[in-house]
Structure 1
């Protein structure tokens, strides 16, 4: 079995890396953004219990997978089933640069224009990564990484790993 979790700041390359890993290894790919938010404007988090129920459905239907997201509260629920984690711990400047070059994500936005309209908010969000104390923060991700006892890799740039 192959079961991998990829996490990090917004713009760190989680989706790009997860899609490549899924394609190269014939894994089911699951983006936690698809279950973390209600389809409302402004965005509102779905109840954690409901998100975890949707995550459990994915896990019950797939033996080999890669799951990606920045939600340590949801990742905690899947880590007991995970063989490997990858923490994309890139500098904030790299995440901002990646966000500015992000291709349209049709599973998140109705159009590229709608996605681009959200870019300034996203850049502000990315920039707060090291100072936030929420489930999306660098501190929450570092805790996940340090407490995981299986195979783990940390990338601090788009190319290098530690």
Structure 2
């Protein structure tokens, strides 16, 4: 049974890689869907509330993939996961990916609403190496280093072939990666 966590910056390809695992039968949890209270001005849910949802998800599925940029939430999963993938792409690659990202209906009511958020997202992505919070490269690197299971670090899009060598030509088109 595969139990995979995928961590990295926004725009690094976490969701797209998770969808590949999903196509192989793993249940998929995007942490963005449980980390926020979607009030008119979204705020982060209490950690305990998100933790309960994660534990429920993991207990409901024998094989799963959980992905996100939340080191605090992913840390909850590490004792149950047997594989970790750190999407450690350059900031410039993440920005390019974000600019070509297709509409994410589970996060935004329309493509227009998503595009309105793009400038803020690009600024957010660019701060990844200098932030020191749960969303930072520093936090992700620490989580990855302490993970005891099978680990893969992806530093460029072509490295995705090491995870799924025969199932997708990752180099053909990055526009499908989120």
Please give the residue correspondences for 1:40-119 in structure 2 after superposition, counting only pairs within 5 Å: 40-119=39-118
Q: Partner of 2:141 in structure 1?
A: 142
Instruction: Work out the CA distance in 1 between the residues paired with 2:77 and 2:83.
Output: 11
- Count of residues in correspondence between the two structures: 161
Q: Partner of 1:17 in structure 2?
A: 17
Instruction: Work out the CA distance in 2 between the residues paired with 1:158 and 1:4.
Output: 19
Instruction: Work out the CA distance in 2 between the residues paired with 1:160 and 1:51.
Output: 31
Runs of 4+, deviation exceeding 4 Å: none
TM-score (ref. length: structure 2): 0.88
Deviation at 1:22, TM superposition (A): 1.5
Instruction: Work out the CA distance in 1 between the residues paired with 2:149 and 2:69.
Output: 19
1:33 aligns with 2:32: yes
Deviation at 1:49, TM superposition (A): 0.4
Deviation at 1:33, TM superposition (A): 0.4
1:132 aligns with 2:158: no
TM-score (ref. length: structure 1): 0.97
SS at 2:11's partner residue? coil
| 5+ residue gaps, structure 1 | none
Instruction: Work out the CA distance in 1 between the residues paired with 2:150 and 2:58.
Output: 20
